[in-house]
Structure 1
Amino acid sequence: MSARHVVARLRAAGCVWAEEEAVLLEEAATSDGELEALLARRVAGEPLETVLGWAGFLGRRLVVAAGVFVPRRRTELLARTTLDHLARSDRRVAGSRPVVVEMCCGVAPVAACLEDSGAQVHAADVSPAALDCARANAPSAALHLGDLYDALPPGLRGRVDVLAANAPYVPTDRVADMPPEAREHEPLVALDGGADGVDLHRRLARDAVGWLAPGGVLLVETSPAQAPLTTAAMAGAGLDPHVVADPDVGGCVAVGVRPATVSR
């Protein structure tokens, strides 16, 4: 099958980066028959990442599969912010192992970036399929299946130095406006953030103080429009909030710091 034919079919299907996608599909296929099968899946609207079986993230290739949330480039800001706070954590400065949790981890893009960090890394999600991918991407992390903090071992209470989460933040009535690749191929639970998009952000903030170590931080990916709601939830829970943004990747992270002493 010629490269020109592959590009033409991708263009006809509406793929904006047809030339680049054609190269990746051709690299992934070991025969014309396999290339035809991969191309047919992509032309039918399946995300390129699940067709290939991987998604690029901070220079890594993360394992993804059908039916899981595919990491976006904007989440790289969440990973970089996690690494930054990890480097400055009191436990790291004292020469002991910091504790990091990636909540709503999906395929664990943040945890994957911590493989060589020396931290004690945990990752949690409600999706067994996502955790199967996470196991390949972050083999050193302890993985937990369950709903938010219910998934975590009780022994982590009061010990978490960095808790990072890319919880869903699309308002319910906006899910239908998302690209078909997302709304038709990714689980709704990974997209729908409730009426204003921050239902899970409020739940994360509400119980964070009990799980964070003094000086620990809650990092939540959000949008510029929703950041005030996310930081308000953090402030209401006793955290000191601020926002980190990166216009280059369209990322926005709400940061909530647990003070050394908390008045509730």
Structure 2
Amino acid sequence: MLETTRGRDVGAVLRDGDVAALSASPGPLLDPVEVDVLAPVTGGKVVAIGLNYLDHVRESGMEPPAAPLVFAKFPSSIVGPGTAIRIDRAITQRVDWEVELAVVIGRTATRVSVEQALDHVFGYTVANDVSARDVQFGDGQWVRGKSLDTFCPVGPAVVTPDELGDPQRLALRTRVNGHTMQDSNTSEMVFGVAELIARCSHSFTLEPGDLLLTGTPWGCGEFMDPPQHLRDGDVVEVEVEGIGCLTNPVEEITA
């Protein structure tokens, strides 16, 4: 399990090719209460997948996609554990949560097969694909509504494949103010991790340090009756089995 290495995040180390640094001594242990825990991966591409859970497809009333629905989040949206998700009310009124298993690419992947795809994974972390639904649907494409500043919390750590095991057998959950909103399993994915990597790599190169967000299950606030959205003072917890819990408060910007 890795967070940062010698002041650099895991993604930067992978992009530099200094993989040996990831096994170096991490130095003295720090009290997480007394330090700011940063996102373990920043700076690379953030590739995301929509409608990739059968239970989420059902709740949204759409048909399962025939191919992965690929979009991007800007790297500038990444924040770490404990950092506030900041909502600008001049831009959006309908901000939603999305727990996701995130894949950290460790080796360059270009036109790889499904059978070889997992060999290109360095590790896994947790992401919250925070979404401004009114912007997302109003724009007619998803990038801006998914990429507002602070809208991609990542962490709390990166877990390597040998530690995590089968990525298609992991429980994942969201809690808002202690109330469970999402509770599912990665076995519900329409396209598994290996197939996502393979399909994406045939369209564009995945590079060391890139993040691949693999989709979210049922329980998004936008599709509840009545809809529920994040508000000032909320606390959002997203967790994936075997990796940990990523917690972020919510803060509204009114001026």
Using the size of structure 2 for normalisation, the TM-score is: 0.25
Higher strand share: 2
Please tell me whether Structure 1 or Structure 2 has the larger radius of gyration of its CA atoms.
Answer: 1
> Highest relative contact order (Cα 8 Å, sep 6+), 1 or 2?
2
